[in-house]
Amino acid sequence: MAVKICGTGSYTPSYVMDNNGIAKLVDTSDAWIRERTGVERRHIVSKETTVSMASEAGHRALLRAQITAAEVDLIIVSTISSNVILPCAACEVQKALGAVNATCFDLSAACTGFVLAYNTAAAYLASGVYKTALIIGSESLSNLTDWKDRSTCILFGDGAGAAVLQADSRKMYLPKTHSDGGKGGALSLKSRHDWNLLGTEHPSDGDGYFMQMDGKTIFQFAVRKVPEVIREVLEENGLRQEEITWYLLHQANKRIIDAVARHLGEPIEKFPMNIQEYGNTSSASIPILLDEMAQKGMLNAGDKLVIAGFGAGLTWGASVYEWI
Ligand code: UT7
């Protein structure tokens, strides 16, 4: 049993900040950001929240799939930046959509989150536990960003992407995923609840309560591990690189994507990008890209896609999907 993607949707905030806007906040320049990251602008929440963006992306995906909210029996929201802790974002999305029959939970695996949400839903659907899943990646990273830190604030953006999945009789492709908690310090963020009643001090907006990143380490990890896990997933499923039409990588940095293409010996045209428009939106980047490609008519029946995520944890993984 495999799964089919019945519809996709996305939502990005209307407020856009270009690199010149960032250069007013920190010592940087449009030229530096473009050259080192590929980012030209990013969309930033104003009235939106992680939940509202997730709900709208989910709503659009359901419309395109022509599936009613009541038919959804699983909702997974992948996020590290939810505006709610309790109830979980997925339950809030359920409420917004009226998906009264769904079981809902969140998944936290940063930039690998959407790949893991896809794998989790696929396993449930293939085993017959659920019939229709709505998986969503939604992030308001601007709320977790230190806007005085030029090593991070240049990179991130906000948005949400979603896909509706159902079981399908075709052959199921197996995913390949990995984690290395030992290297987690390379990209970290303390919870604002990181204190206890008997502890020393109630936390304030100090060190560690915004994203902290050792960019170089993450960069080198991604360039080494992403080609490796793509080769692994292809070998696992008896596929050759020539059979893959598109590689949808997490949009972390254009130079990472260029390097992965080079390592695999694949033309860069097989690696669609939208990082220039949205920056790095963590678990939302792959589903936003997937939705944009679907809406532009870039995906044809029989196209084999590799989706690959990587980031904090450290976590990384890849999955194969054949478009129908
Ligand atoms: O989503 C998954 C997790 N995140 C990632 O995948 C991010 C991976 N890492 C990266 O994308 C890159 O490491 C960054 C874009 C974050 C940084 O690029 P870099 O090429 O690794 O820059 P760097 O930190 O090595 O800094 C190079 C130089 C330094 O100056 P010196 O020491 O050579 O004089 C920095 O001080 O650039 C300077 N610099 C900047 N200059 C202008 C660092 N940030 C900036 C900036 N504007 N924003």
Q: How many A from CA of 298 to the centre of ligand 1?
A: 33
DSSP string across 63-110: HHHT--GGG--EEEEE-S--S-SSS-HHHHHHHHHT-TT-EEEEE--G
- State if residue 323 touches ligand 1 by the CB under 6 angstroms criterion: no
What is the band of 45 on the pLDDT scale with cuts at 50, 70, 90?
very high
Residue 59: in which H helix or E strand, if any?
helix 50-65
pLDDT at 209: 79
250 carries an active-site annotation: yes
88 carries an active-site annotation: no
Give the C-alpha separation, 145 to 158, whole Å: 11
Among the atoms of ligand 1, which is closest to the Cα of residue 310? 2
User: How confident is the model over 67-91, as pLDDT tens digits?
Assistant: 999 999 999 999 999 999 999 999 9
The pick from 36, 225, 285 for probing ligand 1's pocket by mutation, whose C-beta has the most ligand atoms within 8 angstroms, reads 36
The pick from 114, 144, 219, 316 for probing ligand 1's pocket by mutation, whose C-beta has the most ligand atoms within 8 angstroms, reads 219
Give the C-alpha separation, 167 to 118, whole Å: 12
pLDDT at 229: 98
| Average pLDDT over the chain, rounded to an integer | 95
| β-sheet bridge partners, residue 159 | 139
pLDDT at 286: 98
Cα 111–306–54 angle (5° rounding)?
45
CA-CA distances (angstroms) from residue 63 to 58, 77, 125, 134, 239?
A: 9, 18, 20, 12, 33
User: How confident is the model over 166-221, as pLDDT tens digits?
Assistant: 999 988 899 999 999 999 999 999 887 766 666 656 555 556 679 999 999 999 99
What is the band of 53 on the pLDDT scale with cuts at 50, 70, 90?
very high
pLDDT at 196: 67
- State if residue 252 touches ligand 1 by the CB under 6 angstroms criterion: yes
Mean pLDDT across 224-245: 98
Q: How many A from CA of 39 to the centre of ligand 1?
A: 13
111 carries an active-site annotation: yes
Question: Which residue is associated with the tokens 């159902």?
Answer: 166
- State if residue 192 touches ligand 1 by the CB under 6 angstroms criterion: no
